[in-house]
Amino acid sequence: MNLLRIDSSIQGPASAGSQLADIVVAEAVAGHPGVEVVDRHLATDPVSSTTWADAVIGSATPEADRTAAQRDALALAASLADELRAADLVVLASPLYNFGISQHLKTWIDLVLAGAPVGSRLLDGTPTVLVVTRGGAYGPGTPREGWDHATSYVTRILSDVWGADLTVVEREFTLVGINPALDAFRDLAASMKTAAEQAATTAGTHLAHRTTTAPASAVGPQ
Ligand SMILES: Cc1cc2nc3c(=O)[nH]c(=O)nc-3n(C[C@H](O)[C@H](O)[C@H](O)COP(=O)(O)O)c2cc1C
Protein backbone atom coordinates (compact mmCIF):
# COMPACT_ATOMS: atom_id res chain seq x y z
CA MET A 1 0.00 0.00 0.00
CA ASN A 2 1.32 3.47 -0.82
CA LEU A 3 0.39 6.97 0.30
CA LEU A 4 1.03 9.80 -2.14
CA ARG A 5 1.72 13.05 -0.30
CA ILE A 6 1.53 16.25 -2.34
CA ASP A 7 2.76 19.55 -0.90
CA SER A 8 2.64 22.91 -2.65
CA SER A 9 3.56 25.53 -0.06
CA ILE A 10 6.32 27.99 -0.92
CA GLN A 11 6.97 28.53 2.80
CA GLY A 12 9.20 25.55 3.54
CA PRO A 13 9.28 24.41 7.16
CA ALA A 14 7.05 27.36 8.14
CA SER A 15 4.20 25.94 6.06
CA ALA A 16 1.06 25.49 8.15
CA GLY A 17 -0.30 23.10 5.54
CA SER A 18 2.81 20.92 5.56
CA GLN A 19 2.65 20.78 9.36
CA LEU A 20 -0.94 19.51 9.20
CA ALA A 21 -0.03 17.08 6.42
CA ASP A 22 2.80 15.80 8.67
CA ILE A 23 0.18 14.97 11.31
CA VAL A 24 -2.13 13.23 8.82
CA VAL A 25 0.70 11.15 7.35
CA ALA A 26 2.19 10.26 10.74
CA GLU A 27 -1.18 9.02 11.97
CA ALA A 28 -1.82 7.08 8.77
CA VAL A 29 1.59 5.41 8.96
CA ALA A 30 1.13 4.64 12.65
CA GLY A 31 -2.18 2.98 11.85
CA HIS A 32 -0.79 1.14 8.86
CA PRO A 33 2.96 0.60 9.46
CA GLY A 34 3.57 -1.05 6.08
CA VAL A 35 2.48 1.97 4.07
CA GLU A 36 5.08 3.42 1.70
CA VAL A 37 4.99 7.24 1.59
CA VAL A 38 5.71 8.84 -1.80
CA ASP A 39 6.50 12.56 -1.50
CA ARG A 40 5.84 15.02 -4.30
CA HIS A 41 6.63 18.59 -3.35
CA LEU A 42 5.41 20.83 -6.12
CA ALA A 43 7.07 24.00 -4.80
CA THR A 44 10.57 22.61 -4.24
CA ASP A 45 10.42 20.36 -7.31
CA PRO A 46 8.00 22.24 -9.57
CA VAL A 47 6.60 21.27 -12.91
CA SER A 48 7.59 23.88 -15.50
CA SER A 49 4.63 26.05 -16.50
CA THR A 50 5.46 25.58 -20.18
CA THR A 51 5.16 21.80 -19.90
CA TRP A 52 1.36 21.84 -19.84
CA ALA A 53 1.11 23.76 -23.12
CA ASP A 54 3.62 21.40 -24.72
CA ALA A 55 1.56 18.41 -23.57
CA VAL A 56 -1.75 19.84 -24.75
CA ILE A 57 -0.48 21.00 -28.13
CA GLY A 58 1.64 17.86 -28.46
CA SER A 59 -1.36 15.61 -27.95
CA ALA A 60 -3.11 17.39 -30.84
CA THR A 61 -0.06 16.98 -33.06
CA PRO A 62 0.61 13.81 -35.12
CA GLU A 63 3.19 11.73 -33.24
CA ALA A 64 5.80 11.98 -35.97
CA ASP A 65 5.58 15.78 -36.01
CA ARG A 66 5.93 16.34 -32.26
CA THR A 67 8.87 18.34 -30.93
CA ALA A 68 11.19 16.85 -28.33
CA ALA A 69 9.66 19.19 -25.73
CA GLN A 70 6.16 17.97 -26.62
CA ARG A 71 7.21 14.32 -26.35
CA ASP A 72 8.87 14.94 -22.98
CA ALA A 73 5.83 16.86 -21.72
CA LEU A 74 3.45 14.09 -22.75
CA ALA A 75 5.64 11.47 -21.06
CA LEU A 76 5.75 13.51 -17.85
CA ALA A 77 2.01 14.12 -17.93
CA ALA A 78 1.35 10.40 -18.35
CA SER A 79 3.73 9.49 -15.52
CA LEU A 80 2.13 12.01 -13.14
CA ALA A 81 -1.33 10.71 -13.99
CA ASP A 82 -0.10 7.13 -13.47
CA GLU A 83 1.42 8.09 -10.11
CA LEU A 84 -1.91 9.50 -8.96
CA ARG A 85 -3.89 6.53 -10.29
CA ALA A 86 -1.54 4.14 -8.48
CA ALA A 87 -1.95 5.85 -5.11
CA ASP A 88 -3.84 3.86 -2.47
CA LEU A 89 -4.09 6.89 -0.19
CA VAL A 90 -3.54 10.58 -0.93
CA VAL A 91 -2.75 13.59 1.27
CA LEU A 92 -2.70 16.91 -0.58
CA ALA A 93 -1.93 20.28 1.03
CA SER A 94 -3.36 23.33 -0.72
CA PRO A 95 -2.33 26.81 0.52
CA LEU A 96 -4.34 29.93 -0.32
CA TYR A 97 -2.20 32.43 -2.21
CA ASN A 98 -3.56 35.67 -3.65
CA PHE A 99 -7.13 34.45 -3.09
CA GLY A 100 -6.54 31.43 -5.27
CA ILE A 101 -4.75 28.14 -5.77
CA SER A 102 -0.95 27.87 -5.69
CA GLN A 103 0.41 28.19 -9.21
CA HIS A 104 2.52 25.08 -8.65
CA LEU A 105 -0.50 23.00 -7.70
CA LYS A 106 -2.54 24.35 -10.64
CA THR A 107 0.24 23.49 -13.08
CA TRP A 108 0.40 19.95 -11.70
CA ILE A 109 -3.39 19.52 -11.91
CA ASP A 110 -3.41 20.77 -15.51
CA LEU A 111 -0.61 18.40 -16.44
CA VAL A 112 -2.24 15.41 -14.74
CA LEU A 113 -5.46 16.21 -16.62
CA ALA A 114 -3.45 16.27 -19.85
CA GLY A 115 -1.84 12.93 -18.99
CA ALA A 116 -4.98 10.81 -18.95
CA PRO A 117 -8.04 10.45 -21.21
CA VAL A 118 -10.72 13.09 -20.58
CA GLY A 119 -13.03 12.01 -17.77
CA SER A 120 -10.55 9.58 -16.18
CA ARG A 121 -11.49 9.01 -12.53
CA LEU A 122 -7.90 8.74 -11.40
CA LEU A 123 -8.85 8.61 -7.71
CA ASP A 124 -12.01 6.55 -8.01
CA GLY A 125 -12.84 5.83 -4.36
CA THR A 126 -9.29 6.54 -3.17
CA PRO A 127 -9.26 7.79 0.44
CA THR A 128 -7.90 11.32 0.14
CA VAL A 129 -7.28 14.07 2.69
CA LEU A 130 -7.19 17.66 1.42
CA VAL A 131 -5.44 20.05 3.82
CA VAL A 132 -6.41 23.69 3.24
CA THR A 133 -4.61 26.61 4.93
CA ARG A 134 -5.53 30.27 4.73
CA GLY A 135 -3.85 33.27 6.32
CA GLY A 136 -7.14 35.12 6.80
CA ALA A 137 -10.67 34.00 7.56
CA TYR A 138 -13.39 33.63 4.96
CA GLY A 139 -16.35 32.11 6.79
CA PRO A 140 -19.97 33.30 6.58
CA GLY A 141 -20.36 36.90 7.69
CA THR A 142 -16.67 37.79 7.40
CA PRO A 143 -15.74 40.80 5.23
CA ARG A 144 -14.14 38.52 2.64
CA GLU A 145 -16.65 35.72 2.62
CA GLY A 146 -16.41 34.07 -0.76
CA TRP A 147 -12.90 35.34 -1.54
CA ASP A 148 -11.32 31.89 -1.16
CA HIS A 149 -11.30 30.88 -4.81
CA ALA A 150 -9.05 27.87 -4.22
CA THR A 151 -10.87 25.39 -2.00
CA SER A 152 -13.99 24.86 -4.10
CA TYR A 153 -11.84 24.37 -7.20
CA VAL A 154 -9.46 21.83 -5.62
CA THR A 155 -12.40 20.00 -4.07
CA ARG A 156 -14.15 19.93 -7.46
CA ILE A 157 -11.12 18.38 -9.12
CA LEU A 158 -10.34 15.81 -6.42
CA SER A 159 -13.87 14.76 -5.65
CA ASP A 160 -16.00 15.35 -8.74
CA VAL A 161 -13.47 15.03 -11.56
CA TRP A 162 -11.15 12.38 -10.13
CA GLY A 163 -13.66 10.65 -7.84
CA ALA A 164 -11.72 10.77 -4.57
CA ASP A 165 -13.28 9.70 -1.28
CA LEU A 166 -12.52 13.08 0.22
CA THR A 167 -12.01 14.46 3.71
CA VAL A 168 -11.12 18.15 4.08
CA VAL A 169 -9.04 19.50 6.97
CA GLU A 170 -9.01 23.30 7.14
CA ARG A 171 -7.11 25.88 9.15
CA GLU A 172 -7.73 29.62 8.90
CA PHE A 173 -6.02 32.67 10.40
CA THR A 174 -2.52 31.22 10.02
CA LEU A 175 -1.25 34.81 9.62
CA VAL A 176 -2.30 35.68 13.16
CA GLY A 177 0.92 36.22 15.12
CA ILE A 178 2.69 37.14 11.86
CA ASN A 179 0.57 40.06 10.65
CA PRO A 180 0.09 42.54 13.56
CA ALA A 181 -3.15 43.79 11.99
CA LEU A 182 -4.69 40.46 13.03
CA ASP A 183 -3.58 40.55 16.69
CA ALA A 184 -7.17 40.89 17.92
CA PHE A 185 -7.83 37.36 16.65
CA ARG A 186 -5.12 35.56 18.66
CA ASP A 187 -7.50 33.50 20.81
CA LEU A 188 -9.70 32.55 17.87
CA ALA A 189 -6.67 31.63 15.78
CA ALA A 190 -5.25 29.48 18.58
CA SER A 191 -8.51 27.55 18.88
CA MET A 192 -8.66 27.14 15.08
CA LYS A 193 -5.11 25.75 15.12
CA THR A 194 -5.94 23.26 17.85
CA ALA A 195 -9.14 22.20 16.07
CA ALA A 196 -7.27 21.76 12.80
CA GLU A 197 -4.59 19.63 14.45
CA GLN A 198 -7.25 17.45 16.03
CA ALA A 199 -9.03 17.15 12.69
CA ALA A 200 -5.73 16.19 11.04
CA THR A 201 -5.14 13.52 13.68
CA THR A 202 -8.62 12.12 13.17
CA ALA A 203 -8.31 12.19 9.39
CA GLY A 204 -4.93 10.44 9.53
CA THR A 205 -6.18 7.80 11.93
CA HIS A 206 -9.10 7.00 9.65
CA LEU A 207 -7.16 7.27 6.41
CA ALA A 208 -5.45 3.91 6.42
CA HIS A 209 -8.67 2.17 7.39
CA ARG A 210 -10.96 3.71 4.78
CA THR A 211 -11.31 1.51 1.77
CA THR A 212 -14.86 2.16 0.58
CA THR A 213 -16.24 5.08 -1.38
CA ALA A 214 -18.10 7.56 0.83
CA PRO A 215 -19.53 11.02 0.22
CA ALA A 216 -17.21 14.03 0.63
CA SER A 217 -17.05 15.19 4.23
CA ALA A 218 -15.43 18.08 6.04
CA VAL A 219 -13.83 18.21 9.46
CA GLY A 220 -12.31 21.18 11.23
CA PRO A 221 -13.24 24.86 11.17
CA GLN A 222 -15.19 25.97 8.12
C1 LIG B 1 2.48 35.02 -1.61
C2 LIG B 1 1.42 34.78 -0.58
C3 LIG B 1 0.12 35.16 -0.86
C4 LIG B 1 -0.88 34.97 0.09
N5 LIG B 1 -2.15 35.32 -0.19
C6 LIG B 1 -3.12 35.14 0.74
C7 LIG B 1 -4.46 35.48 0.46
O8 LIG B 1 -4.82 35.93 -0.62
N9 LIG B 1 -5.38 35.28 1.43
C10 LIG B 1 -5.06 34.75 2.65
O11 LIG B 1 -5.93 34.58 3.49
N12 LIG B 1 -3.78 34.42 2.94
C13 LIG B 1 -2.82 34.59 2.02
N14 LIG B 1 -1.54 34.22 2.28
C15 LIG B 1 -1.25 33.55 3.55
C16 LIG B 1 -1.35 32.05 3.38
O17 LIG B 1 -2.65 31.65 3.02
C18 LIG B 1 -0.93 31.38 4.66
O19 LIG B 1 0.45 31.65 4.88
C20 LIG B 1 -1.21 29.89 4.65
O21 LIG B 1 -0.73 29.37 5.85
C22 LIG B 1 -0.59 29.24 3.43
O23 LIG B 1 -0.37 27.86 3.59
P24 LIG B 1 1.11 27.35 3.92
O25 LIG B 1 1.43 27.91 5.32
O26 LIG B 1 1.01 25.88 3.91
O27 LIG B 1 2.03 27.92 2.89
C28 LIG B 1 -0.55 34.39 1.35
C29 LIG B 1 0.76 33.99 1.60
C30 LIG B 1 1.73 34.19 0.65
C31 LIG B 1 3.15 33.75 0.94
Beta bridge partners of 81: none
Q: Which domain holds residue 37?
A: 2-219
Q: Which atom of ligand 1 is nearest to the CA of 11?
A: 27
Please give all residues whose beta carbon lies within 6 A of any atom in ligand 1, as ranges: 9, 11, 15-18, 93, 95-99, 133-136, 174-175
Ligand 1 centre distance from Cα of residue 63 (Å): 41
Ligand 1 centre distance from Cα of residue 75 (Å): 32
Say how many domains are in the chain.
1
- 211 pLDDT higher than 80: no
Per-residue pLDDT tens digits for 180-202 = 999 999 999 999 999 999 999 99
Burial of 59 (0-12, 13-18, 19+ CB in 10 A): middle
Q: Tell me the pLDDT band of 22, cut-offs 50, 70 and 90.
A: very high
Q: What CATH number is attached to the domain comprising 47?
A: 3.40.50.360
Helix intervals (H) in the chain: 16-31, 49-59, 68-86, 103-114, 151-155, 186-207
Q: Tell me how crowded residue 106 is: count the other CB atoms within 10 A of its CB.
A: 20
Per-residue pLDDT tens digits for 31-82 = 988 899 999 999 999 999 899 999 999 999 999 999 999 999 999 999 999 9
How far is Cα 210 from Cα 192, in angstroms, rounded to an integer? 26
Distance of CA 204 to the CA centre of its chain: 15
Terminal C-alpha separation, the chain? 31
Q: Which of 8, 9, 175 is the best mutation target for the ligand 1 pocket, counting ligand atoms within 8 Å of the beta carbon and taking the most? A: 175
pTM for the whole structure: 0.94
Ligand 1 centre distance from Cα of residue 96 (Å): 5
Q: Which atom of ligand 1 is nearest to the CA of 14?
A: 25
Burial of 152 (0-12, 13-18, 19+ CB in 10 A): exposed
Rounded-to-10 torsion of CA 201, 205, 208, 212: -100
Helix/strand/coil percentages in the chain, nearest 5: 45, 20, 35
Q: What was the pLDDT predicted at 29?
A: 94
> Residue with the nearest Cα to atom 22 of ligand 1?
95
- By the 8 A CB rule, do 36 and 1 touch? yes
Q: Tell me, what amino acid is at 140? A: P
Q: Which atom of ligand 1 is nearest to the CA of 131?
A: 26
- At residue 18's C-alpha, the angle toward residues 136 and 139, to 5°, is 25
Q: What was the pLDDT predicted at 209?
A: 83
Ligand 1 centre distance from Cα of residue 125 (Å): 30
Ligand 1 centre distance from Cα of residue 171 (Å): 11
Q: Quick check: helix, strand or coil at residue 56?
A: helix
Burial of 4 (0-12, 13-18, 19+ CB in 10 A): buried
> Residue 30: left (phi > 0), alpha (psi -120 to 50), or beta?
alpha
Q: Which atom of ligand 1 is nearest to the CA of 99?
A: 8
- 121 pLDDT higher than 70: yes
Q: Which atom of ligand 1 is nearest to the CA of 9?
A: 27
Count of residues in the chain: 222
Beta bridge partners of 129: 91, 167
Beta strands at 2-7 and 89-97: parallel, antiparallel or unpaired: parallel
